[in-house]
Amino acid sequence: MSIVCGNSWGWLLDSCTHIDEGLQRCVCYNSAALEKPIYFKNCFKREYFNILKPHVQIRHNTDISTNGIHTHNAENSNGDGLAKIDLHTRKKRKRKQRDLNTGELDAHIYHGKVRSVVLEGSQALLEAGRQCGYLTEDLITPPSESLPTHECQLAALCDMAKQLPLTDESVAPVQTLNADGLDPPLDLFSSITENPFDCAYEVTLMREKYLLPPRSRFLLSDITHMHPLVNSGDKFDLIILDPPWENKSVKRSNRYSSLPSSQLKQLPVPALAAPECLVVTWVTNRAKHLRFVKEELYPYWAVEVLAEWLWVKVTRTGEFVFPLDSQHKKPYEVLVLGRYRSRTDHTVRCLAEDELPEQRLLISVPSLLHSHKPSLSAVLKPYISHKPKCLELFARSLQCDWTSWGNEVLKFQHSSYFTRERAEDPARTSQTLTQ
């Protein structure tokens, strides 16, 4: 379980635990001896979550501390690396005073509404986490000098695939791995690829090794080639979106592609959603994007807005990763939650589902990898149907029992992000027990 503890404020999460759950038994085939599979136990490298200090240090005499929670925390200027800004030594620049623009004013008003919730809720959840042995000195490891990052080439391949004609309707919308573990001639762009087995598989795709969790499915494509997903006929009970929102820093850095808000309406969410489907969208702290989701996008999809939750990012010592009152970066991101209200289906909501709370906090140590979000599976389980079908759009990783779509859908499944150790052959283990 990724939930360390929970209370009326929300939940404290351990992202690594959830990632590792489906990879405790992974099968791979040695190319020199294909007749015998090799079993491994895989773990996501903890160094990627080893944030020990705030990325922005502020002066001691201006340090804001409330109820034991320090607000001098932050990520680097890009929000995802190891570089830190020391305001002790940074040269001050005089800036002309100016009035806040509309977006900044809206963000300031929103922050005023949630500030006390973030502060008090974080204190309560972090204290509960420490009492159960989480965020303690024993769990802190020295930071590594450098961490490898895999340059995913999948997005470029998706751009090339745009030139391909649309798939014939006779092509099966889902293709599965072979039972013997040998990589089939997969068509990654025209069909959903599925690992139907109860163990993870290491597969070689485009000369790179990736780990596919048990019962996971994915479609590698961009927004123009989503028809295999729609043609599969699946209706999902939970749909999570992490759109690549446009902003100035993205345009300047050119580090990843973004998508105009208007194009998000093209996503076939109504065609993929089951009645009363829970739709959850990650939103940046720009008031413009939050307003678009609530006032344009969700109404266009017939999704009723029901709640706004906050993901609060902290260090391994329990400090906010950005100054809480920073005007540039905040230590939290917003999730907008709503229900798809089918215009043709008036089925009464299943009574087994709990009422969705209007406000909750998700506290976790963020990944040093860009856009590596924590899984919401465990915290959303009470609010969706039993044995649900779940879909993540704009995904960069896979989950057990989920379908994932995006042009970088395998990015964080690359083997370089994991450590592995040899595991016992389950057949040999069972033989030992019976002897």
Give the confidence band of 53 by pLDDT, cuts at 50, 70, 90. Answer: confident
What integer is the mean pLDDT of 379-385? 95
Give the confidence band of 37 by pLDDT, cuts at 50, 70, 90. Answer: confident
Among 190, 194, 205, 160, CA closest to 411: 205
Here the tokens at position 49 are 């979550």
Give the confidence band of 165 by pLDDT, cuts at 50, 70, 90. Answer: low
- Is the pTM above the cut of 0.75? yes
What integer is the mean pLDDT of 368-373? 89
What integer is the mean pLDDT of 202-222? 91
What pLDDT is recorded for position 311? 97
Q: In 148-291, at which residue ranges do the beta strands (DSSP E only) sit?
A: 174-176, 192-194, 200-205, 208-212, 217-220, 236-241, 273-283
% of the chain at pLDDT higher than 70: 71
Task: Please give the helix or strand (H or E) that residue 118 lies within, else none.
Answer: helix 102-131
**Range of weakest confidence among 167-171, 387-391, 416-420:** 167-171
91 pLDDT above the threshold of 80 = no
What integer is the mean pLDDT of 87-98? 52
What pLDDT is recorded for position 415? 93
What pLDDT is recorded for position 79? 40
- Listing DSSP states for 296-348 in one string gives IIHHHHTEEEEEEEEEEEB-TTS-BSS-TT-SS--SEEEEEEEEE--SS--PP
What integer is the mean pLDDT of 254-271? 82
What pLDDT is recorded for position 293? 97
% of the chain at pLDDT higher than 90: 51
What pLDDT is recorded for position 98? 65
Domains and CATH numbers, the chain: 154-308+325-357+368-417 (3.40.50)
pLDDT digits (tens, 9 = 90+) for 302-340: 999 999 999 999 999 999 999 999 877 899 999 999 999
